[in-house]
Amino acid sequence: MSIFVDESTKVVVQGLTGGQGRFHGLRNRDYGTRVVAGVTPGKGGQDVDGIPVFDTMAEAVAATGADASFVSVPPRFAQAAILEAAASVGFIVCITEGIPAQDEANFYNVLKRDYSGVRLLGPNCPGIISPGKCNIGITSGDIALAGGPVGIVSRSGTLTYQALHELSQQGIGQTTCVGIGGDPVPGTSFIDCLAAFQADPETKAVMMIGEIGGSEEERAAEYIATQMDKPVVAYVAGVTAPPGRKMGHAGAIVSGSHGTAQGKMAALDKAGVHVAQNPTAAGEMMVELVRSLG
């Protein structure tokens, strides 16, 4: 199985008429994802390579039966797009980078208050791919291998791609790969994904890729120790990052003794996670682990 999305998922691309929306939306469609519509206010009635464009999400969903949205709009429009999507579909992927922190905090809380059944993935994330079934976002389908048995969840886009590619090269397939993004207020957490992988009978092992900043990895470690019986391999990026300096993602900042890679790795190790010292070692660990499962 896969988590969150599958071959039946119908996707609306918000921003399909823009450069990024068109490029990635068509790539997703060509991968096999059921991209059924686009939304750009004022451009309803047009189409992009045969995909109909509507003025609003409500119109697009009414016409196509879509149940997911891919938000690819400039930062200043992202909050409005996400909240518009939440009124019509149950799953939203937002790849937009550079959304103001105040906007992120606001739509996060509005979603929790008014749309508790809606899942937001991102923002500032590579998206989600269930190999051979559905790809929403910017991940290249060429590096993913269908069939499982590994589920992947990652804060880092680049390391997501590396994990997919290295496992695929060794013939180890993936059920679903989820990039949750590295912003301070992600819509979907490590624990959300770990719980879904734990419940998925086809996911036999999980790879988790964290990074410095925040305390989500420590929370995940506690969850793994108490709620999971599937093996987990983890890598935490940022071992050499200097304290007090933001590194890459908006959420990747260490303050004092909080959010360090060493602290996260220690918590994961204590929880029984197989902790790797670099991304390639994490892939090698997972290959050995899967092969040992028989």
For 39-43, the CB contacts below 8 A with 24+ separation are: 39/12, 39/13, 39/14, 39/15, 40/14, 40/15, 40/16, 43/17
Tokens for 225?
């120790």
143 DSSP 8-state letter: G
Give the orientation angle of helix 279-293 with respect to helix 157-169, to 10 degrees: 40
* Location of structure tokens 């933001």: 246
Cβ atoms within 10 Å of 49's Cβ, excluding its own:
12
Buried b (16+ CB within 10 A) or exposed e, 260-293: bbebbbebbeebebbbbeebeebbebbbebbeee
Number of H helices, E strands in the chain: 9, 14
- Confirm whether 249 is a catalytic residue: yes
Q: How far apart are CA 108 and CA 85, in angstroms?
A: 13
Of these residues, 24, 165, 249, 274, which one is catalytic?
Answer: 249
CA–CA separation, 99 vs 79, rounded Å? 8
Report, as residue numbers or ranges, the catalytic residues. Answer: 249
